[in-house]
């Protein structure tokens, strides 16, 4: 899609490749498993957030809205701004003032109005939700009245993986902040299994930062319900911003999915995520955001303690296409 192209024909379903891990398997001691990367970097703005943004903008158009709003740390705001522009809608994006927000210029380039909010990500979402209610805007926020649209959009990742592999994999690892993507993918696999289109539901593995994510915090303490995270435990950085969540907005559903599928949740340091993103680029020619590289770290951790009887998939986000080697 070319920037500035406002043709409605561009509002099409998205599809991303499944790349088999090759050179890195031996280095990561993964020789015993077939590991794949579901590479969301092929989406127009480079992340899995395109899927939810496209779906929400489509709903906004169908229901006669002229403005769509969201609170964001960066990636989701860019995706909403991008698709709103294609559809001829106005986008109002709320961002936490204290975050690095390296993608704010892109949001503005796509014509979005960007509003800085004092406080953390959760406050930006809260202001966006209240603004949507007060102004009659379409609310594209996770955990909001239209949350089901995001979950349905992410469920299509499961259908694509099944089409690409011929069946559901044994394990799927997903980077999590709010947990919305993991919930959507799980529901996709669940429906396919109930319809007899797969032989199993994968074990869902959440990957995140070790510096305060409610899903990882709750699972590591054996809780099936979201536990409160102390603000004092938060260590936000440009690397972990997409993953930090004092309150994961889809925490309850995500924890249910992890426990129901006999999965797990892991948190990693910035240095671990950065190192894995460098390895992916050097050995596989895949550009991965460090936060999303946590999914492959989670695969490694999960396979250390668990035997699997089929393929393993890590959902990876980037901002560029796979490099030619």
142 vs 128: CA distance, rounded Å: 11
Location of each CATH 3.40.50.1100 domain in the chain: 9-47+147-316, 49-139
Q: What is the tens place of the pLDDT at every residue in 12-27?
A: 568 899 999 999 998 9
pLDDT at 2 over 70: no
Is pLDDT at 234 greater than 60 in this prediction?
yes
What is the pLDDT at residue 47? 87
CATH code given to domain 49-139 = 3.40.50.1100
Interval 105-118 mean pLDDT: 94
Lowest pLDDT segment from 62-76, 230-244, 267-281: 230-244
Question: How confident is the model at residue 101, as a pLDDT?
Answer: 61
pLDDT at 9: 36
Contact between 45 and 79 (Cβ < 8 Å): yes
Average pLDDT, the chain: 90
Residue 281 CB-half CA count within 13 A: 18
Question: With 70 as the cut, is the pLDDT of residue 171 above it?
Answer: yes
pLDDT in tens, 120-141: 888 999 999 999 999 999 999 9
**How does pLDDT run across 260-294, given as a tens digit for each residue?**
999 999 999 999 999 999 999 999 999 999 999 99
Q: What is the pLDDT of residue 165?
A: 97
At 319 the pLDDT is 65
Of the listed ranges 45-49, 174-178, 213-217, the least confidently predicted one is 45-49
Convert the pLDDT of each residue in 291-303 to its tens digit: 999 999 999 999 9
pLDDT of residue 13: 63
What is the topology classification, in CATH, of domain 9-47+147-316? Rossmann fold (3.40.50)
pTM: 0.89
- pLDDT confidence bin for 11, thresholds 50/70/90: very low
Helices first, then strands: H and E counts in the chain:
11, 10
166-194: burial string, b at 16+ Cβ within 10 Å, e else: eebbbbbbbbbbbbbbbbbbbbbbbebbe
Report the pLDDT value the prediction gives residue 325, as an integer from 0 to 100.
35
Task: Please give the radius of gyration of the chain, using alpha carbons only, rounded to the nearest integer.
Answer: 18
């Amino acid at each position: 899609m070319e920037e500035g192209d406002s043709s409605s024909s561009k509002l099409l379903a998205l599809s991303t490749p499944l790349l088999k891990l090759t050179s890195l398997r031996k280095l990561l001691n993964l020789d015993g498993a077939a590991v794949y990367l579901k590479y969301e970097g092929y989406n127009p703005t480079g992340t899995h957030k395109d899927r939810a943004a496209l779906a929400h903008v489509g709903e906004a158009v169908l229901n006669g809205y002229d403005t769509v709003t969201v609170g964001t740390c960066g990636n989701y705001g860019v995706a909403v701004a991008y698709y709103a522009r294609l559809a001829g809608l106005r986008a109002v994006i709320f961002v936490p003032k204290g975050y690095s927000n390296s993608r704010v210029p892109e949001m503005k380039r796509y014509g979005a109005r960007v509003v800085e909010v004092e406080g953390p990500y959760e406050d930006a979402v809260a202001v966006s939700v209240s603004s949507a209610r007060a102004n009659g805007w379409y609310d594209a926020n996770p955990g909001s009245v239209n949350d089901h649209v995001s979950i349905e959009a992410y469920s299509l990742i499961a259908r694509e993986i099944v089409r690409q592999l011929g069946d559901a994999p044994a394990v799927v690892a997903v980077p999590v902040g709010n947990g919305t993507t993991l919930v959507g993918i799980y529901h996709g696999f669940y429906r396919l299994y109930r319809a007899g289109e797969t032989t199993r539901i994968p074990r869902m593995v959440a990957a995140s930062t070790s510096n305060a994510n409610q899903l990882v915090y709750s699972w590591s303490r054996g809780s099936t319900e979201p536990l409160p995270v102390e603000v004092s435990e938060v260590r936000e950085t440009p690397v972990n911003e997409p993953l930090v969540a004092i309150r994961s907005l889809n925490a309850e559903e995500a924890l249910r999915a992890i426990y129901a599928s006999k999965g797990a949740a892991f948190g990693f340091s910035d240095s671990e995520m950065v190192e894995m993103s460098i390895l992916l680029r050097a050995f596989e020619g895949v550009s991965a955001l460090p936060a999303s590289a946590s999914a492959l770290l989670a695969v490694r951790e999960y396979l250390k303690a668990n035997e699997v009887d089929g393929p393993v998939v890590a959902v990876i986000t980037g901002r560029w296409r796979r490099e030619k080697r």
